[in-house]
């Protein structure tokens, strides 16, 4: 989607039991709109037939360097030239040794040697093979040549043993693909700070004041900014979501901790996007021991306002500030008031009375308002797509500032 659409990607598949994950990877890359060519080693075809990859990618895989009747002449050179990215997943110890030593003996290592596109290698093998000094040396060699090594992860291996060697999850590999393809995007060289999730304001050791924010909107913004080339710092309140790859994540609990992390993150930043649902009040004190039910008939908890993070960050020319407004009434009027009070460049307003948008949903329906009075209503769409639209507005505001400064 977006930064994968129409991108020319080559997937190299080598012989490991985890080839089944590569089928899912090929399917997801194709569904995201990329033009995917698959190349396989002869060993890989022992695990999965090329026809499986043909089924998910819509293209005939290349697996025979001696094919006398190929679709394209000099397939490895042609694919290597066309590729914007080569991903090898799974990558065996043998493949990494061939690439490190420059010994191309089959289509995947031939293409890897011939391409000048960025290369991502995702190792998968038994722990003992992975930990062997020869494999580690080859991995270091590949890393020192600018090849992005992703994984392996720890877990249960085909041998039944536990340890490092599992092929990274498909979503993780796709995150790296998006990051590598997005490096020269329209936010390259920009630092973007994003907040996500709610905050927990503790009442006693087991209870807190919180809200229903899942973090989905903020995490989608962090991923989309990364996919457009930004250096991203994600300040996250408690959330069950895994940290996005290639994003610096700072985990916090309370509003005061989020304030400190945001102020630190904003040093040298170009953009701050506050998608977090920060608690507006916190208990005056956190009771040391768990409050007992029999202690009192009714319970009142005195509260004071939390720090207003957007206000405390302040205004400076070089920092573009974007807020969110979660409203159950007078959406536009309340959002406009917040733009002014918090001195924002943009505010993204969500109507949280809608059951299909806002808190903890996969989709959102928002209105983007700017400080000049402009307003754009977006239909219901996935939060990643909403994030992309918000970033479009941010990119054009940054461009406007740059041309003003140059005039
Ligand atoms: O995480 P999800 O489940 O995906 O849900 C997404 C969301 C609905 C939480 C998100 O889209 C959203 O609307 N976030 C802002 C919610 C909110 O707290 O709005 P607010 O109107 O209370 O605050 C206005 C702005 O001030 C926000 O940018 C907020 O981050 C910021 N704020 C609020 C309080 C505070 N103490 N400091 C702040 O900086």
Distance 198 CA to ligand 1 centre (A): 8
Distance 275 CA to ligand 1 centre (A): 5
Domain ranges of the chain: 2-181, 191-406
Residue 26: closest CA among 16, 42, 37, 18: 37
Determine which residue's CA is closest to atom 5 belonging to ligand 1: 359
Tokens standing for residue 381: 């769409």
- Secondary-structure class of domain 2-181 per CATH: alpha beta
If one residue of 209, 312, 325, 333 were mutated to test the ligand 1 pocket, choosing by the most ligand atoms within 8 A of its CB, it would be 325
Atom of ligand 1 nearest to the CA of 323: 28
If one residue of 262, 276, 351 were mutated to test the ligand 1 pocket, choosing by the most ligand atoms within 8 A of its CB, it would be 276
* Chain segment 43-56, per-residue pLDDT in tens: 999 999 999 999 99
Atom of ligand 1 nearest to the CA of 306: 36
Tokens standing for residue 310: 């957007």
* Ramachandran region, residue 70 (left: φ > 0; alpha: ψ -120 to 50; beta: rest): beta
Residue 109: closest CA among 41, 177, 167: 41
Atom of ligand 1 nearest to the CA of 383: 4
Distance 325 CA to ligand 1 centre (A): 6
Distance 248 CA to ligand 1 centre (A): 21
Pocket around ligand 1 at a 6 A CB cut-off: 197, 213-218, 255, 274-278, 280, 306, 308-310, 323-326, 338, 350, 358-360
Catalytic residue among 46, 69, 211, 363: 211
d(CA 89, CA 119) in angstroms, rounded, equals: 11
Distance 331 CA to ligand 1 centre (A): 13
CB atoms within 10 A of CB 101: 11
Q: Kindly give the interhelix angle for 170-182 and 19-31, rounded to the nearest 10 degrees.
A: 50
Determine which residue's CA is closest to atom 20 belonging to ligand 1: 325
Say which CATH architecture domain 191-406 belongs to. Answer: 3-Layer(aba) Sandwich (3.40)
Determine which residue's CA is closest to atom 33 belonging to ligand 1: 278
Distance 201 CA to ligand 1 centre (A): 15
Mark whether 63 is an active-site residue. Answer: no
Each residue's pLDDT, cut to its tens digit, for the chain (407 residues) gives 578 999 999 999 999 999 999 999 999 999 999 999 999 999 999 999 999 999 999 999 998 777 655 666 666 688 899 999 999 999 999 999 999 999 988 999 999 999 999 999 999 999 999 999 999 999 999 999 999 999 999 988 887 888 889 999 999 999 999 999 999 999 999 999 999 999 999 999 999 999 999 999 999 999 999 999 999 999 999 999 999 999 999 999 999 999 999 999 999 999 999 999 999 999 999 999 999 888 778 999 999 999 999 999 988 888 999 999 999 899 999 999 999 999 999 999 998 888 999 999 999 999 999 999 999 999 999 999 999 999 999 999 999 888 888 88
DSSP 356-384: TSSTT-SEE-EEEEETTS-EEE--SEEHH
């Amino acid at each position: 989607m977006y930064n994968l659409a129409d991108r020319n990607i080559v997937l190299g598949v080598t012989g490991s039991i985890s080839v089944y994950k590569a089928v899912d990877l090929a399917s997801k890359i194709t569904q995201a709109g990329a033009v995917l060519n698959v190349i396989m080693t002869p060993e890989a075809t022992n695990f999965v037939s090329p026809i499986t990859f043909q089924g998910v990618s819509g293209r005939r895989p290349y697996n025979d360097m001696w094919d006398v009747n190929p679709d394209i002449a000099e397939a490895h050179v042609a694919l290597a030239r066309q590729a914007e990215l080569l991903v090898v997943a799974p990558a065996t110890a043998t493949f990494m040794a061939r690439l490190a030593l420059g010994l191309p003996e089959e289509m995947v290592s031939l293409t890897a040697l011939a391409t000048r596109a960025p290369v991502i290698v995702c190792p998968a093998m038994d722990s003992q093979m992975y930990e062997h000094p020869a494999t580690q040396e080859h991995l270091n060699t590949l890393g020192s040549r600018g090849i992005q090594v992703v994984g392996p992860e720890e877990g249960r291996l085909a041998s039944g043993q536990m340890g490092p060697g599992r092929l990274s999850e498909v979503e993780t590999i796709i995150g790296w693909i998006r990051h590598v393809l997005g490096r020269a995007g329209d936010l390259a060289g920009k630092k973007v700070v994003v907040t996500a999730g709610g905050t927990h304001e503790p009442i006693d050791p087991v209870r807190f004041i919180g809200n229903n924010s899942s973090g989905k909107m903020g995490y989608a913004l962090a991923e989309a900014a990364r996919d457009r080339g930004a250096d991203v710092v994600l300040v996250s309140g408690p959330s069950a979501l895994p940290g996005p790859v290639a994003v610096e994540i700072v985990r916090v609990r309370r509003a005061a901790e989020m304030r400190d992390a945001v102020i630190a993150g904003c040093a040298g930043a170009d953009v701050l996007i506050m998608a977090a649902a920060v608690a507006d009040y916190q208990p005056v004190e956190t009771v040391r021991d768990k409050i007992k039910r029999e202690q009192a008939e009714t319970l009142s908890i005195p509260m004071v306002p939390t720090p207003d993070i957007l206000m405390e960050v302040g205004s400076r020319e070089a920092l573009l500030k974007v807020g969110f407004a979660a409203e159950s009434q007078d959406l536009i009027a309340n959002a406009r008031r917040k733009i002014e009070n918090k001195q924002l460049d943009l505010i993204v307003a969500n109507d949280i009375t809608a059951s299909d948008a806002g808190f903890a949903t996969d989709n959102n329906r928002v209105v983007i308002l700017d400080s000049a009075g402009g307003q754009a209503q977006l239909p219901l769409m996935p939060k990643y797509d909403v994030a992309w639209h918000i970033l479009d507005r941010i990119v054009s505001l940054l461009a406007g500032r740059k041309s003003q400064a140059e005039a």
